[in-house]
Structure 1
Amino acid sequence: MKQSKSAYGPIHKHPFMLAGLLLLLFAAIVLLRQWSKNDGISAQVPKPPPAATQGMLDWSNLYTDQAENIPLDGEWEFYWRQLLEPIDFQAAHAPAPSFVQLPAPWTNYLDSSGKLLPSEGYATYRLSLLLPQELSEKAQPLALYLKSIASAYRIWINGQLVGGNGSVGTDRISETPKSYPEVVYFQPRTGWNEIIIQVSNFSQRNAGIWQHIELGTADNISWARILHVSAQSSIVGIFGVMALYYAFVFWNRRKETSALLYSLLCMAVGVRTVVLGESTALYLLPGLPWEWAVKAEYISVTMTALLLILFINREYPAEAVRQVSALSGVILPGCMLLFLVTPAHVYTYLLTPFTWGVLFPALLYTLYIYIRSAMKRRKGAVTSMIGFLFFMAFALNDMLFYTVHLPTEDMLSVGLLVFLLTQAYNLSSRFSRALHRSEQLSLQLQESNLQLEQIVEERTRSLQRTNAELQEANQKMSDSELFRTRLLSNISHELSTPITSIKGFAKALRDGIITTDAPKYVNRIYTRSVMLERMIHDLIDLTKLETHQVQFRMQNVYIIPFMQELFLKYEPDVQAHGIQYVMDLPEGADLLSPGGDGWIVRLDPIRLEQVLSNLISNALRFTSPTGIIQVQLRLTEAPSTETGWVACVCVKDTGIGILPEWQERIFERFEQASPTSVQDEHKGSGLGLAICKEIMHYHQGNIGVSSKPGSGSEFCCRLPAWKGRLSPHDKP
C-alpha cells in the first residue's frame, strides 16, 4: 500500500527517534513483566510474602487462600561441595551451613577465602518452611514449580525424595545433566517443613538455582505448568505452519528465494522455542539427550541470525553491505560448527562474547538496513522495521536474562512472532500485488484478443479451453471457500450464542436498563461464562480424542469393586439434590473373596469415571428432587464378542425422558435433547455424550440410550468382560 509523505517524514528527519522508541519498548516490557507478577495495580495490593532469613521461612501467618503461586526467595542454607541427604541433618553433629541468596547462580557466591565460586562443582541447598496450620489440617496437597536448575538435581521434602532431573554427581563422569521445568507434589505437615535440594554442575556455564522456585496449591501449580507448555506449543505450532506454507510457496515458485529463507527462519525459531523456556522438547521426549537440546538451542539461534541477515539482504539488496554479508557468512557458520563439535561445558562459557560480539552486531546491522530502507521509502520497510523493533526489544531482554543481568524470563519467541508476522504480511502483500498484475495482464490480453480478427482458429480454441479451465478452477476455489465458511460458522454458532447473551446482559447493566434485578442478571452472565468455558474445554477434549492425541492408561480391574467405589464417590452429590440414589449389582456380588475369581474388565479408570460422571450429571439435570437415579451393573453373555461376556454399566433416571428422534443425535457434537425445556444454568455444552462415545470407542465398547418421554432415560455402556483372577502386575 502506498504511504503518504507525512508517514515517512519523522523517520527521514529524525532517525534517532527509532533508538528512543526501542528503549521505550524495552522499558515497557520490563514494566509489564513486573506488573504481571503483581497482578496489576489495584486499590488493595496484598502484602508481599516474607523472604527466607538464615535458611528459615515463616509463613505461619500468611493468608492461606493465595490465588497466586509464591516464590521461595531469600536466604537458603548452602553447603558447597557437599551432597547431603535428610539423614545427615538429623545427626548429632550436623554440618555448619553458609547462607546464600536465591535465586542466583552459585558463581555469584564467595567462598571462605573471598573468591567467587567456580561454575563446576556440587552443593546442597536447604530451607525450613513453616506453613499455616490450616494447610496441614485441610490435607490439601501443595506443589513446587522448579524451573531451570543447572545442571542436575534431586529434591527431598520432609525426608522423602519427590523428584529430580538427571543424575547428580561429583564430577563430569558421574553426572548426567538434564534441566527442564518440573512440578513436584507433597503433603504439608504440621510445623516446620524441610526442603533439601542437591545440585551438581559440570556441564555448562550456568550453575545452581538461578530461577525462582514457586510454591502453590497442586491445582494452581499444575495449571501454571499446563498454560506455559500450551502457550509455548501454540507459538511453535504457528512457526511450523508458517515454515511449511512458505516452503510450499518456494516449491511452486523457485524464484522466490525470500520465501525459502523465511521458511527456514521460521523453522529455526521454532526449534529454539521448543528447547528453551518450558523445554517442551525435553518434557515430551524424555529420552532426548540434554547435550543435543543445548546444541539445538545455540545452533538454532545462530542460524536465526544468519538467515535474518540473508533474508534482509535479499529483500533490500540496494541497502545491503557486502562486507557484512561476507563476514557473517564466515563467522556464523563457524560458530555453528564450534557448537556442533564441542561439548556444552566448552561453548556455553562463550555465551557472553557470542551474545554481544556476534548476535548483537547482527541485530544492529539488520536495524541499520531497515532504517535505510524506511528512509528511502522501500515498500514494506516501515512495517518490517516496526516488527523488528519489537523483536530487538525482546532479544535484548533475553540477552540480559541469560547472562543473569535481568530477572525476567525467556520471551524472544513472542518478539520473533511479531516480527515474522510483519514479514509474512509483506510477503503476502507482494504475492497479492503480483497476482493483481497477473489479473490485469489477463484482462488486457482478453481485450486485445477481441480486437484481433485474423487470429488462428486453433489458437482461439486453445484460449477458450484455457479460459474454461480457469473458470472451473475458480469455481472449485469458490466451492472450497464456501465449505470452509460454513464449517467455521457451524463451529462458532454454539460459541456465539452464550457470548451474545453475556454481551446483552452486560450492556443492559452498563446502560442502567437493569437496576432492581442486577444480581440475577450478573448470575446469568456468570453461568453463561461457565457454560462457554466448559464448552471450549469439552471441544478441546473431543478434538484430542478424535485425533488420537489422548493417551489411555488401560489396566485390568475387578469391575464390581470398581463400580462400588465409583458409586460411593458420587453419592453425596446426588443426595444433596434430594434425589434417591441406588445401586444394583449382579446377584452374589458381595461374595467375591480375596484371591478368588471375579469379573474383570480392561479399562482406563480415569476415563471410565469421566463417562460415568457425565451420565450422572446429565441425570441430575433432568431429574426432579423426588426422583430416583439408579446405577446398575449387568453381566450378560455375548457370544459374538471375543471374551464371550459384556459388562453393562447403566445409569437410569426418572427424569423427563428423550424423544425417539433425538436418541441417536444426542451422541453427536452440539446436540442436546429438549433444549427449550432446560434452564440456562442447567444447559450443557452439547459435547459430553460425544466425548463419552469416543472414550467407549477406545475401550472397544459402545454407549446407547433407551428412553420414553416422561418416563426417564437409561444410558448403558458396554465393555468386554471375562471371569478370572488378576495377576500381581495387573493390580494398580
Structure 2
Amino acid sequence: MLISLFMLLFAAIVLFHKWGNNDAISTTINTAPPIAKQGTLDGSGLITSQAESIALDGEWEFYWRQLLEPIHFQSAYPPVSELVQLPAPWTTYSDSHGSFLPSEGYATYRLRVLLPKDVSEAARTLALYPKSIASAYRIWINGQLVGGNGSVGSDRISETPKSYPEIVYFQPRTGWNEIIIQVSNFSQRNAGIWQRMELGTADTISWERILHVSAQSGIVGIFGVMSLYYAFVFWNRKQETSALLYSLLCMSVGVRTVVLGESTALYLLPGLPWEWAVKAEYISVAMTALLLILFINREYPAEAVRHSSVLAGIILPGCMSLFLFTPAHVYTYMLTPFTWGVLFPSLLYTLYIYLRSAINRSKGALTSMIGFLFFMAFALNDMLFYTVHLPTEDMLSIGLLVFLLTQAYNLSSRFSRALYESEQLSLQLKESNQRLEQIVEERTRSLRKTNEELQEANKKMSDSELFRTRLLSNISHELSTPITSIKGFAKALRDGIITTDAPKYVNRIYTRSLMLERMIHDLIDLTKLETHQVQFKMQDVYVIPFMLELFLKYETDVHAQGIQYVIDMPEKSGLLEPKDEDWIVQLDPIRLEQVVSNLISNALRFTSPAGIIHVQLRLAETPDTEQGWLAYICVKDTGVGIPPKWQERIFDRFEQARPPSVQDEHKGSGLGLSICKEIMHYHHGDIGVTSEPGLGSEFCFRLPAWKGRVSPNDKP
C-alpha cells in the first residue's frame, strides 16, 4: 500500500509539472509553440516577462560533409542547403540517391531565429541548452563562437569526442539571430543533433540546468547511500549475500545514472575521457542486468530457473568484456542486438520470477513485483529512446529508484525482524551482565590509573638508569688513560726518580688534570644529549647578527695567537641586497654557540701562527626543505688538515686525527665533534668536514632558513 501511494504521488508530480509547463507556454503565446520552418523560427511572439523556454524543433538547414562558419554565409554565393527535421540523428536522413546517411561523418546545421525588440532590451542575455550532440560540436551565434564540446574534425584522427549538456550564453539582437552548429561524429552509433535544444533567458535555462543536475545528483546520492548501507550489512554479516548483491546493484545503477542524462560525471569532471564515460554507461547496464538476475535468484530460489545464473554469468560478462576492450565506434553499434537480445530477455525473466513468487505468496513478492513493473515500463521507454524509436528522454533512473526502494523495503523488513529477535535475546543477557560491567569498569578505571602512574615512574627510572649506566661506562672506560698518566708522573716525583725537570712534569700533571676535568664535563654533556635529558630552548633568530656577535666573541683569542681571523657574510658576497638581515633560523643560541666555539677551538689548536681562520655564512635556495632555504655556517682554517681515512670517523666519540706535530698539552678530549653532531641532530641539521692534509680543513653545518620577521619575545 505504501509503495502504491508513493507511485501515485510521483505520477501526480510528473503530471502537474507537465501541465504547468504547457500552461506556461499557452499563457505566454496563446498558441502552439513556434516550430522552425525552412530554416527559420519566428519567436517574435515571445513575452520575456514569462520564465519559459522554447524548443528549437523543426526544419533546420543542413550541409552534409561541410564544416561551415558564419563567414561562408556572408558571401555573394552562399552554400546550398538541405532541410532536415530536428531533433533526429542524421542517420535518419537520406541523400540524393535515397540512401540513409552513414553515422560517421560531419555536417553543419543552421537556423535563423526572429526575436522581438523587447527581448534584446529586457532580457540582456539569452541561453541555448543543447542536451546531447554526437560526438563533437562548435556553436556560433550571431557570428561569434560561443561554445562547444570536444574537437570537431573531418576524420577519426582529427576529432576529439566529448558530448554532455552545456549551456551556451549569448547577447541577442533585435530581429534575426543566426545559430550555426558544426558537428562531427566518428566515435559512436548516434550522430548529429538527436536530442532537443532549448532557447530561453539565461535565468530560465540556468535554473532548468540546476534542477536537472540537482535531481540527478539526488538520485545518485540515494543510490550511493543505499549501496554503502547494504555493503556494511554484508560486512557485518557475511551470510547475507543478498545484501552484497543489492549493494553492487545500487552502485551499478548509480554509475549509469551519473554518466547519462545530464552527464553529471562529465560536468563535474571535465577531464574524464569521453570514451571511458561511454564504457561506464554500457558496462553498468550489463552489470545491472547480471546483478538483477543473481539477486532475484538468491531471493526466490524455489522459483528460479535452473542454470539461469550460470547462463547470465557467461553472456553478460562477455558483453562487458566487449565494451571494455573495444572502442566506442565498435561496440555502440551493438546497442540494438544487446538491448533486445540480452537486456529485454533479462527483464522478462525477472518479471516471470516475480509473477511466480507472487502466485506462491512468497513474503514481499507482491511489493517487489509492483516496483519491478514500474521499473520495466521506464526500461522499455529507455530502450526505445536510445534506439531512436521514441522521442522522450532517459528516465530509467526513476524506475530503478522506485524498484530499488521496494527491494530495500523488503530487505529492511527482513533485517528488522531478525534484529528484533536478536534484541529480545540480548536484552536478558544485557540485564544480567549490567552489574558485572559496572564492577569491571570501576576496577578497570582504578587499574588504568595505577598503570599510568607506574609507567611514568618506570620511565623516569629507566631514563635515570640509562644515564647512570652510560656515564659510569664512559668514565670507567675512557678516564683510565689520563688517570694512569697522572699517577705515574706523581709517583715518579714522590719517589725522587724525577729531580731535574720537576717543573716540567708538574706542568704535565696539571695539563692532564685539566684534560681529565674537561673530559668528565664533555662525557656528562654527551651522555645527556644521547639520553635526551637536555631541554633545548629553540628560538627564531636573525642569523646574520647572531653570527657577527659570535665572531666578535673569539676575535681577541684568535689574534692573540698571531692568526688572521676573517668573516664572510652574505651581503658582502652579493647573494643578498645590502642591509638585508631578515634571514631567520630556528636554534638554541647557547647550544649553537657551543658548536661554533668547538669548531673555532679546533681550528686554533691545529693552525700555526700566521695562518688564517675563516668564518663564513652563506644562504642557498633548496627544494629539500619546507622553508626553501638553507643557512650554511663554515669554519675554515689553514692548519695541518685531516687524512681522508679519518674524515668520517672524527665525529665518533674519542676519535681524533691528531698529527705527531701537535703537542700533548693541546690534545682535546675527543668528544667535542660528537657533541656538535648531537646538537645538530636536535636542530634538524647536519655537520660535515672537507679537508686536505697540509692545506687545512673546513667544517660546515647547515640549518633550515627563511626570510621574515622575528617576534620581540623570540630575540635571544
**TM-score tier (shorter):** 0.5 to 0.7
CA displacement, residues 130-178 of structure 1 (integer Å, 9 cap, x when unaligned): 1011112336210001110000000000000000000000011100000
Residue 26 of structure 1: how far off its partner (Å)? 13
Distance 1:420 1:167, change over 3 A: same
| Distance change >3 Å, CA 140–CA 292, structure 1 → 2 | same
Q: Equivalent of 2:376, from 389, 392, 403?
A: 392
Where in structure 2 are the equivalents of 1:350-499 lying within 5 Å? 350-442=334-426, 465=436
- In structure 2, do the counterparts of structure 1 residues 377 and 82 end up closer, same or farther at CA, with 3 Å as the change threshold? same
Q: 1:150 to 1:126 in 2, by over 3 A?
A: same
| 1:217 aligned onto 2:201 | yes
Residue aligned with 2:162, SS: coil
Give unmatched runs, 5+ long, in structure 1.
4-17, 19-23, 448-459, 471-732
Query: How far, CA to CA, are the matches of 2:429 and 2:139 in structure 1?
Result: 75
Q: Give the alignment partner of residue 268 of structure 1, picking from 239, 247, 252.
A: 252
Contact 2:28 2:47 in 1 (8 A): no
Task: Tell me which of 341, 347, 365 is aligned to 2:331.
Answer: 347
CA 468–325 in structure 1, closer or farther in 2 if over 3 Å, else same: farther
**In structure 2, do the counterparts of structure 1 residues 314 and 467 end up closer, same or farther at CA, with 3 Å as the change threshold?**
farther
> Residue type matched to 2:399 in 1?
G
Q: 1:304 aligns with which of 281, 288, 296?
A: 288
Aligned residues: 440
Q: Contact 1:49–1:62 (CA<8 Å) still a contact in 2?
A: no
- Does residue 165 of the first structure (1) align with residue 149 of the second (2)? yes
Give the drift of 1:41: 11
- Partner of 1:287 in structure 2? 271
- Aligned-partner Cα distance in 2 for 1:158–1:50: 20
Higher Cα radius of gyration: 2
Change (3 A) 1:369 1:299: same
Aligned counterpart in structure 2 of residue 332 of structure 1, from 316, 321, 334: 316
Shift of the 239–54 alpha-carbon distance from structure 1 to 2, 3 Å rule, reads: same
C-alpha change, 1:380 and 1:139, in structure 2 (3 Å) is closer
Identify the range of structure 1 (160-169 vs 437-446) with the bigger mean alpha-carbon deviation. Answer: 437-446
The whole-number CA distance in structure 1 between the counterparts of 2:16 and 2:327 is 37
Q: CA 1:281–1:36 in 2, change beyond 3 Å: closer, same or farther?
A: farther
SS of alignment partner, residue 215 of structure 1: strand
SS at match of 1:124: strand
- SS of the aligned residue for 1:322 comes to coil
Secondary structure of 1:38 counterpart: helix
Pick from 211, 216, 219: which aligns with 1:227? 211
Aligned partners of 1:174 and 1:250: how far apart in 2?
Answer: 48
Supply the AA of the counterpart residue of 2:139. Answer: I
SS at match of 1:125: strand
- The equivalent of 2:131 in structure 1 is 147
Superposed CA RMSD: 3.1
SS in 2 for 1:88: helix
The letter of the residue matching 1:400 is L
Deviation at 1:25, TM superposition (A): 13
- 2:373 maps to a residue whose letter is L
Maintained 8 Å contact 1:105/1:209: yes
Cα distance in 1 between the residues matched to 2:434 and 2:86: 76
Moved more, 433-442 or 341-350: 433-442
Percent sequence identity over aligned pairs: 81
Provide the residue aligned with 1:493 in structure 2. none
The answer to whether the 8 A contact 2:36-2:60 is kept is yes
Cα distance change, pair 25–405 in 1 and its aligned pair in 2 (3 A): farther
Determine the structure 1 residue equivalent to 2:92: 108
Q: How big is each residue's C-alpha offset from its partner over 1:14-44, in whole Å with a ceiling of 9 and x where there is no partner? A: xxxx9xxxxx999999978864652499999
> Residue 87 and residue 382 in structure 1: after superposition, are their counterparts in 2 closer, same or farther (change >3 A)?
same
Structure 1 pair 233–469 and aligned structure 2 pair: CA distance change class (3 A): farther
Distance in 2 separating the partners of 1:407 and 1:344: 23
CA distance in structure 1 between the aligned counterparts of 2:317 and 2:266, rounded to whole angstroms: 26
In 2, are the aligned partners of 1:110 and 1:117 still within 8 Å (CA)?
A: yes
- Matching of residues 74-153 of structure 1 within 5 Å: 74-138=58-122, 140-153=124-137
Alpha-carbon deviation of 1:314?
Answer: 0.7
2-side partners of 1:125 and 1:216: how far apart?
Answer: 19
Once the two structures are overlaid, the 10-residue window that deviates more, 281-290 or 139-148, is 139-148
Counterpart in the other structure of 2:43: 59
Matches within 5 A, 1:7-18: none
Q: What SS does structure 2 have at the residue aligned with 1:310? A: helix
Query: Following the alignment from structure 1 to structure 2, what is the Cα–Cα distance between the partners of residues 389 and 468?
Result: 58
Give me the whole-angstrom Cα distance separating, in 2, the residues matched to 1:389 and 1:201: 36
The alignment's TM-score, normalised by the length of structure 1, stands at 0.57
Counterparts in 2 of 1:335 and 1:140: CA distance versus 1, 3 Å: same
Secondary structure class of the residue paired with 2:355: helix
| Structure-1 separation of matches of 2:357 and 2:414 | 16
Q: Give the 3 Å change call, closer, same or farther, for CA 245–29 of structure 1 in structure 2.
A: same
Cα 1:29–1:331 shift into 2, 3 Å: farther
1:199 matched to which residue of 2? 183
CA spacing shift, 1:55–1:467, aligned 2, 3 Å: farther
Report the CA distance shift for 1:101/1:295 in structure 2 as closer, same or farther (over 3 A): same
Is contact 2:228-2:247 (8 Å) kept?
A: yes
Quote the offset at 1:190 in angstroms. Answer: 2.0
Aligned to 2:236: 252
Aligned partner (choices 30, 33, 51) of residue 46 of structure 1? 30
Distance 1:196-1:270 versus aligned 2 partners, 3 A rule? same
Q: What is the SS of the residue equivalent to 2:302?
A: coil
User: Structure 1 residues 294 and 116 mapped into 2: Cα distance closer, same or farther (>3 Å)?
Assistant: same
On the 8 A contact 1:148/1:181 being kept in 2, the answer is yes
**In the alignment, residue 381 of structure 1 is paired with which amino acid?**
A
The ranges of structure 1 where at least 4 consecutive aligned residues each deviate by more than 6 angstroms after the TM superposition are: 24-33, 40-45, 443-447, 466-470
Q: Distance in 2 between matches of 1:42 and 1:161?
A: 33
Deviation per CA, 1:364-384, whole angstroms, max 9, x where unpaired? 111111111111111111111
Give the drift of 1:195: 0.4
C-alpha deviation, 1:463, in angstroms: 8.4
**Which of 220, 229, 238 lines up with 1:236 in the alignment?**
220
Work out the CA distance in 2 between the residues paired with 1:170 and 1:154: 13
Compared with structure 1, are the counterparts of its residues 443 and 158 closer, same or farther at alpha carbon in structure 2 (3 Å cutoff)?
Answer: closer
Query: What is the CA–CA distance in structure 2 between the aligned matches of 1:37 and 1:337, rounded to whole Å?
Result: 43
